[in-house]
Each structure stands twice: as structure tokens, then as C-alpha cells.
Structure 1
Amino acid sequence: MEKAEGAFLTISELATELGLAQHILRYWETRFPQLRPLQRSGNRRYYRPADVALARRINQLLNVEGFTVKGAQKALAYGTDDIAVDPLPAATPEPDLIARLEAIRADLARALGR
């Protein structure tokens, strides 16, 4: 029997849907303050539709897009995924460094026979 759209999901149902272990969802609750399912007797968790959408987004950021937990936290906190994980501007490498790295790349290519 399929649940109606908007029905609460248990941790087992959500974990199965996302292809994760239940302990991962419990871990996410400790790292993402926005993710707060209802907890009933015996600490049974019930995920509201908003919680389900957030868990799906967290899963997307972490397991599909390759964000770190810290990066995903920033993306969710700022409400955008287009944030710079490192807010400092990138330093321009020294020309000498670029020449040394290119020489190393050429040496590696020769060693690999390319």
C-alpha cells in the first residue's frame, strides 16, 4: 500500500527511499539543525514533507554533487548551492611555480609513455 503524497515517513521508509542506512539520517540530524523530524514515544522519528525534501537535498549535495558536510551546511545556510566553499580569493600562482609544475607533468607523461 502506497502512502498518500504529503504523508509522514518513518526513518525506515526515508532511508530506503534514499538508499541509506538509518544511522546516516540520525547523523545528519546532528549536523543539519534544519532537519528536525517529529519524535514520538520510543524516539520514533516521523519525517514531515519538508523534512523529506530537506533530506533529499542533503543527499543530493553529499552523495551526488560531492559536497563535504561543512560545504553542504554552508550551502543550506545561505540558501544557495552557488557558494564558494573557500571564501578567500584564489591566490595567483607564481610563474616559477607554474613552470616547475609543467616540467613535472612532462616528466610524468614521459614516464607513463604518453
Structure 2
Amino acid sequence: MPPPRSFAEFWPHYVLAHRHPLTRAFHFTGTLLAWMLLIAAIARRSGWLVLAALLVPYALAWLSHFFVEHNRPATFDHPLWSWLADQKMVGLMLSGRMGEEVRRCAEKA
């Protein structure tokens, strides 16, 4: 399969790399923690909290890929699209629509 040339092409690949609910839960937790740490970093003017906001979500996500999903994190090949997809996935999870999106992408694969 050729590499994606746009975010729209990347999204289904990203979704299918996050089929396991536990993987998505790790990403969800990491992303929300990142936003909270970033807000705290701004409020406290703390470089350490900025560093934590960058490291914590990646650590959680990568753990889930290596030990739950058993695949390679998309961040390695498409860092910006992966970050955008993570935000979209969290939004879909908050609205209760991520399971439906996984099914939709799996049917098209």
C-alpha cells in the first residue's frame, strides 16, 4: 500500500493502528495529561512541565503500541499527522463515536 499523501488518507491507517480499546485509552490519557501539563506549565512558567507535557503522552502511547497493539507508532513516520489524529481520536472518544469510526475504517480496509 502506498504511503498516505494527505491527512485524509492517513486517518484510516491511524485508526486501524489503534483498534484495541486499551491502546486508545492510553492515548486518551496521555493526550489529556499533555494538555493539563501544558496549561500548568504556562500558569507556573515551568520548562519542566513543558518537557513533561511532551514526554508523558509519547511514553504512554508508545507503551500501548509495543505491549498492547504490537505495532509501530505512526509518530515515527508522520509526527504532525499523528499529533492531529490523536486530537481527533480524543474528540471522537469524548463524543462516544470512536468505536463507530474504527468499525467504519475496518470495513473500508
* TM-score with structure 1 setting the length: 0.25
- Structure with greater contact order relative to length (CA < 8 Å, sep ≥ 6): 2
Bigger share in strand: 1
Q: Which has the larger radius of gyration?
A: 1
Q: Which has the higher helix share?
A: 2
